[in-house]
Structure 1
Amino acid sequence: MSAIAHLERALASEHAALLAYSGGLDSSVLLHQLVLLRRLRPELQLRAVHIHHGLSPLADSWAEHCQQQCAQWHVPLEVIRVKVEARHGGIEAAARTARYQAFAHRLLPGEALLTAQHQDDQSETLLLALKRGSGPAGLAAMPQQQWRGAHRHLRPLLAHSRQQIEAWAHQHQLTWIEDESNGDPRYDRNFLRLEVMPLLNARWPHFSRAVARSAALCGEQEQLLDELLAESLSTLVDDSGALSVTPLRDISEARRAALLRRWIAGQQGSMPSRDALLRLWQEVACSREDAEPRLRLGGNEVRRYRDRLYWLPLMSSLARCSLAWTDLSQPLLLPDGLGQLQPHHCGIALRCPQPGEAVSVRFQAQGSFSIVGRAGSRPLKKLWQEQGIPPWQRERTPLIFYGDRLIAAAGVFVTRDGAPEGDGASWFIDWRR
């Protein structure tokens, strides 16, 4: 059997691969094996990416080593500098998040992502999951393959021990870099690797292999649950990704929690703790009908509207934002990625502003208003409700003012103060998001 048979099997259906290449022992071995595979399969398109975290004074020399090694083996390499924000979750989690975000932006269509985690890494990951009190999904640790959006993520070395990887490196006289932080036991994973795993392996020589088997079994159970709950979940989620709450009230707590976890996973969210999931249900899903509940989970939040849960990015408040629109013949750029307002015949029709009426765009208004097509006046909150606009969209819908009079909510309604007057000239505005 070929020495790289595991790699041949893993990449049998792949034609292009992007390797996460740190320059350390594990990724150096995987890069070498990929180069050997490419000799057998010249059509295999191989690239590498090195993430420069900037956390070590040696980071520049590591990048230089990776460039030299890839040049020697004729593998295109891209070095990417990332900024690690460690305010939430610690430096290890922040660095990992930064890496995978960089990978996601660099993957080409049809390209698989390869990372070099091995059997001992799997044991450490499962023990860390135990420390956090994780359930079966967390204890499944790292699968050998999974999908990240439209790309496969493969871990071809996951069945190999660190000892086997070291033996390969020495046999083929490979060179690699040593990250000095790997010797710092203040980091949880290093503590396990340096102080805990040697004791466990000394007592039970096949401990890592047994742990990997347990992780695989947990993964199988999770996959089975995914398959069994897929149909139920599809009936609960609408085209926008919102989750219907009412059917969840009449099922067991365990089934409900399993469905909520899979809904969050489907939104590409980080898996919440058991306590956070309970808060999501009690404080958001089961809050009073007229409430506007929200719960922050990592870099996102869950909100409820009309008996549905929505997974949303965190959004900055625009309540105090006011934009003067001085040249009405030119588009007006809106803040926070909301696009622009521009004169266009396909937009809403307004009366032209009178001389002396300054045009501005705001995101907050108070009072009651009469709108075109409705009798009488209504508070703005009632108008939003009648139009079916969720609270988070109300806070980010451009409101067009002439002076201090509300004229229109872009794409939603026009007030009577803003309606075109008889045969007078009209001004058309389109909101390009």
Structure 2
Amino acid sequence: MLYAHLEAYLAATVAKPARFVLALSGGLDSRVLLHLMGRYLQAHPEAGCKAVHVHHGLSPHADCWAERCAAWAAEAGIMIEIERVSLVLGKRMSVEQQARDARYAALQTHIGPGDVLLTAQHADDQLETVLLALKRGSGPAGLSAMPQRMAFASGWHLRPLLEYPRAAIEQYASEHHLDWVEDESNSDERYDRNFLRHQITPLLHGRWPGIRKAVARSAALCGEQEALLQELLADQLSEAISADQSLDIAGLHPDKPGSERRGKALLRYWLAEVGVKMPSQAQLEQVWHSVLLAKPDANPKVCWGEVEVRRFRQRLYVVQPWPDVSSSILPAVLNEACSLPSSLGSLLLAESKDGQLRLPQHDEPISVRFEPAGLEVQPVGRVGKRKLKKLFQEYGVPSWQRRRTPLIFYGEELAAVAGLFVVKAFAGKECDLTWHYEQE
């Protein structure tokens, strides 16, 4: 039954030839999916598949699990890679969430264009996910739970077993004499999902045997409603969001009566588009009232986790945490790219027949710096000198980017600010300055 379903599902869902990446924890569910994929590859040799086991290092048995996964993958004729990840414990985020985020981040590195990630969640997992979403007070997006198919990295993420209960997977494992690893943490009811699995869902199944299917239908309906709302608001979001992923406040029409409901929905879709963790309802209220509706001269922000939403010149920005680079001094060489720290890309000062800068003299070593304090210069085309802080304001550089903007020095004198201007005293036509930087 399971194999026939898998084969039919992949035939209807995946373009051929396909390359699959199977997430293999070694537990019952992924062990069964590995066996199923071994059979699938025998029947469809044109397909490619590799398994990836993510080694979290949380259990004393983690090394043994990795070895057993490698052995099972070899039996199935599937190559395997072991990805070791480290978790930073002690933060407010749960161990479960950190492990999940680290796992998917590791899996993402194995997904090329059009590749298909396979994971082994089933109908009981879906029920637990919906219950956890209810516990958090989630809306339709959260209650839509786990889709059977979704975009992932540059490929797709499929959950081919999502329609089947755990009992069907156990039956398959028994029929094919499969063994698997048992994570001792699965019995620890301090974890919410384990509490639901051991204490709550057995009662629900006993009272309402059809609850898995009923909850799956509700989740699917929530997903449809969420998709429809996104479709209806897509054009408005496209008009409001810019290339740097900031959001135009005017596009939310906060001054119009009745705009708050639609505006908050646009905020949620914008945050999803930017790819940050969704805020709680209370935090979203703060973004709307404390940031979006603040006085024009205010510099408000709302933080959750490691994310900040800030406003600058009637636009909203998501600001990620970055290490302080203001004390960095990087030597640079003419005609050679200079790699910048903190995901700032690279800078190239190259000779050119139609540039904006003069060549540096022999006694003017080139360097890249980031500290604007105390600097006073005159940009080309401007009258008189001004403090760099004031110039940043005039050029519309948000406050949190001002110590992340590369400053090019000839010797101890500022010659140019990347992406903004050349200092008048260093103007010329011998050099061109290029900053290769994709804003996060």
Task: Report the equivalent of 2:5.
Answer: 6
SS at match of 1:80: strand
Mapped to 1, the partners of 2:370 and 2:266 lie a distance apart of: 39
Any gaps of 5 or more consecutive residues in structure 2?
A: none
Provide Cα deviations, 1:201-231, integer angstroms capped at 9, x if missing partner. 2222222332222222211211221222222
Task: Report the equivalent of 1:392.
Answer: 400
Provide Cα deviations, 1:54-82, integer angstroms capped at 9, x if missing partner. 00010111111111111111011111101
Task: Report the equivalent of 2:74.
Answer: 71
Number of aligned residue pairs = 427
Decide which moves more: 6-15 or 330-339: 330-339
Q: 1:269 aligns with which of 255, 266, 276?
A: 276
Task: Report the equivalent of 1:212.
Answer: 216
Q: Is 2:56 aligned against 1:53? A: yes
Q: 1:293 aligns with which of 281, 295, 300?
A: 300
Task: Report the equivalent of 1:344.
Answer: 350
Task: Report the equivalent of 1:335.
Answer: 341
CA contact (8 A) 1:292 1:391 kept: no
Give the superposition deviation at 1:372: 1.8
Mapped to 2, the partners of 1:146 and 1:357 lie a distance apart of: 52
The correspondence of residues 1-400 of structure 1 with structure 2, limited to 5 A, is: 3-12=2-11, 13-14=14-15, 15-86=18-89, 87-248=91-252, 249=254, 250=256, 251-319=258-326, 321-323=327-329, 325=331, 332-346=338-352, 348-350=356-358, 352=360, 355=363, 361-366=369-374, 368-400=376-408
Say what the alpha-carbon RMSD is for the aligned residues: 2.6
CA contact (8 A) 2:34 2:76 kept: no
Mapped to 1, the partners of 2:333 and 2:223 lie a distance apart of: 59
Decide which moves more: 250-259 or 71-80: 250-259
Give the superposition deviation at 1:41: 2.2
Mapped to 1, the partners of 2:371 and 2:336 lie a distance apart of: 20
Provide Cα deviations, 1:164-221, integer angstroms capped at 9, x if missing partner. 1111110111111111111111111111111122222222222233222222221121
CA contact (8 A) 2:143 2:222 kept: yes
Q: Which amino acid aligns with 2:388?
A: L
Mapped to 2, the partners of 1:104 and 1:331 lie a distance apart of: 29
How does the TM-score come out when normalised to structure 1? 0.90
Mapped to 2, the partners of 1:137 and 1:120 lie a distance apart of: 19
Q: Which amino acid aligns with 1:82?
A: V
CA 1:404–1:195 in 2, change beyond 3 Å: closer, same or farther?
same
CA 1:356–1:134 in 2, change beyond 3 Å: closer, same or farther?
closer
Decide which moves more: 408-417 or 325-334: 325-334
Give the superposition deviation at 1:288: 2.6
**Identity percentage of aligned residues:** 47
CA 1:215–1:357 in 2, change beyond 3 Å: closer, same or farther?
closer
Decide which moves more: 156-165 or 321-330: 321-330
Decide which moves more: 378-387 or 258-267: 378-387
Q: Which amino acid aligns with 1:334?
A: L
Q: Which amino acid aligns with 2:299?
A: E
SS at match of 1:4: helix
Decide which moves more: 321-330 or 301-310: 321-330
Q: Which amino acid aligns with 1:413?
A: F
Mapped to 2, the partners of 1:151 and 1:330 lie a distance apart of: 35
Mapped to 2, the partners of 1:154 and 1:286 lie a distance apart of: 41
Give the superposition deviation at 1:367: 5.4
CA contact (8 A) 2:22 2:119 kept: yes
Any gaps of 5 or more consecutive residues in structure 1?
A: none
Give the superposition deviation at 1:131: 1.3
Q: Which amino acid aligns with 1:336?
A: S
Give the superposition deviation at 1:391: 3.0
SS at match of 2:109: helix
CA 1:430–1:144 in 2, change beyond 3 Å: closer, same or farther?
closer
